[in-house]
Each structure stands twice: as structure tokens, then as C-alpha cells.
């Protein structure tokens, strides 16, 4: 059976500590000012009933990735295991992938002027390790694994939990799932109308 990797984030467990984004920057030597994984803060309600919600976001490693289809030089590509990866040695910095991504998950590396994004820590997976963000999360809010393996923890949770994805109407088949996702954190503009 072919592997098919995805992420599951339990938003009720996320405490907004940024351990995931810090570990990602360190593991992947991400320059200052840009992020492959980041934590959005959304505040809802009015005093005294105010709440801060967190949303960990990154590349959705889509089943049907528009960034791969639009890249004129095939610098963006999809591995056999479903991970959407990029090759900076091929990238020409045209930003087509950035414009095609409905999740704003791709940035232009200020040091190389090439596209960059979450790689699912493929270099770690290839040697049997989990992505850095999964390892460091103190609340175990982030899971990563093979969606095609019914025995994997992520598959077991997905089979029992109610999950949501960002922008399903885009038809990209995102493989970044959220438990306890809500309009305020998945669609931050919704918080402004509450």
C-alpha cells in the first residue's frame, strides 16, 4: 500500500506556545521574518467573555496541489507518499506557486529568492523520524502520519473525530485536518463579524 502522509491538529489542545514554529525554523534553517509553520491568534467575544483561539497552519500537502500544477519549471512536485516538496535548485522565483496556493503557505526565501514552505520534514521521515513540530509540541496537539495505514494513530483519530479542513471549496484535497476547528480560527475574517 502506498503511503499518504497528512497532519492532524487538535485546536483544543494548542496553547499557542510556538514550540512548533520555533522547532520548524531551527530544523529547516528558516530565515528571520518568514515561517513554514506559524500560529495564528484570533480573539473573539467581548468583555468579560473574551477568548483567544489558536490555529497552527502550514502547507496542507494537498492531494491536488495547485502549486505543483502551476510551477513552470517543476520545482514544486509531489512525492509518491503525498508530500508536496520543492527543489530550490530548480526554482526561478517567479512566485506562481505563491499565487496559486489558497492557504498562503508558500513564501519567497529572502536569502535565496526561491519558493519555500513546509516539507513535512521529509528528510526526517525518510530516516524514520517524525516531523520536528510533532516531536516538540508539549500538548501533543499535532499528529502526523500515513493516512492510508488504518493502524496509524492519525488514521484512528480521523475515523472517530469530527474534523474540518481549510477552504474545502477550493478542491485541493487538503491533508491538514483540524479537530475542534471553528470559523473563528479556520476563517479569521469570520471573527470580525461576531
The pLDDT value recorded for residue 41 is 84
Predicted pLDDT of residue 192: 41
Please tell me the predicted confidence (pLDDT) of residue 49: 92
Contact (Cβ atoms closer than 8 angstroms) between residue 158 and residue 152: no
Q: Which residues pair with 42 in a beta bridge?
A: 53
In a domain? residue 107: no
Cell 495547485 locates to 66
Is residue 185's pLDDT more than 70?
A: no
Predicted local distance difference test score (pLDDT) of residue 194: 39
Give the strand pairing for 38-46 and 49-57.
antiparallel
Specify if 19 maps to a domain.
yes
Q: At 39, which CATH number?
A: 3.30.70.20
- Provide the β-strand partners of residue 76: 86
pLDDT greater than 80 at residue 184 = no
105 touches 117 (CB < 8 A): yes
Partners of residue 164 on adjacent β-strands: 178
Domain count, the chain: 1
- Inside any domain, residue 143: yes
Q: With cut-offs at 50, 70 and 90, classify the pLDDT of residue 193.
A: very low
Structural domain boundaries enclosing 54: 5-63+119-193
Residues in the chain: 194
Q: Does any domain span residue 92?
A: no
Structure confidence by residue, pLDDT tens digits, 14-51: 999 999 999 999 999 999 999 999 998 888 889 999 98
Whether 184 maps to a domain, the answer reads yes
The answer to whether residue 182 is domain-embedded is: yes
**pLDDT by residue (tens digit) across 93-119?**
999 999 999 999 999 999 999 999 999
Would 46 be classed as within a structural domain? yes
User: Does a structural domain hold residue 102?
Assistant: no
Residue 163 pLDDT greater than 50, yes or no: yes
Amino acid at each position: 500500500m502506498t503511503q499518504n502522509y497528512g497532519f492532524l491538529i487538535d485546536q483544543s489542545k494548542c496553547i499557542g506556545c510556538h514550540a512548533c514554529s520555533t522547532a520548524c525554523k531551527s530544523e529547516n534553517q528558516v530565515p528571520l521574518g518568514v515561517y513554514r509553520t506559524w500560529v495564528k491568534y484570533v480573539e473573539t467575544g467581548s468583555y468579560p467573555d473574551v477568548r483567544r483561539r489558536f490555529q497552527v497552519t502550514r502547507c496542507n500537502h494537498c492531494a491536488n496541489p495547485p502549486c505543483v500544477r502551476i510551477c513552470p519549471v517543476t520545482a514544486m512536485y509531489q512525492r509518491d507518499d503525498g508530500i508536496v516538496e520543492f527543489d530550490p535548485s530548480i526554482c526561478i522565483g517567479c512566485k506562481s506557486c505563491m499565487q496559486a496556493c489558497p492557504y498562503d503557505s508558500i513564501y519567497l526565501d529572502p536569502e535565496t529568492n526561491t519558493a519555500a514552505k513546509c516539507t513535512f520534514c521529509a528528510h526526517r521521515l525518510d530516516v524514520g523520524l517524525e516531523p520536528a513540530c510533532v516531536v516538540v509540541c508539549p500538548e501533543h496537539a499535532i499528529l502526523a502520519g500515513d493516512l492510508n495505514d488504518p493502524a496509524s494513530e492519525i488514521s484512528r483519530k480521523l475515523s472517530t473525530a469530527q474534523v474540518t479542513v481549510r477552504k474545502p471549496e477550493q478542491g485541493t484535497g487538503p491533508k491538514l485536518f483540524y479537530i475542534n476547528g471553528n470559523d473563528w480560527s479556520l476563517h479569521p475574517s469570520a471573527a470580525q463579524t461576531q
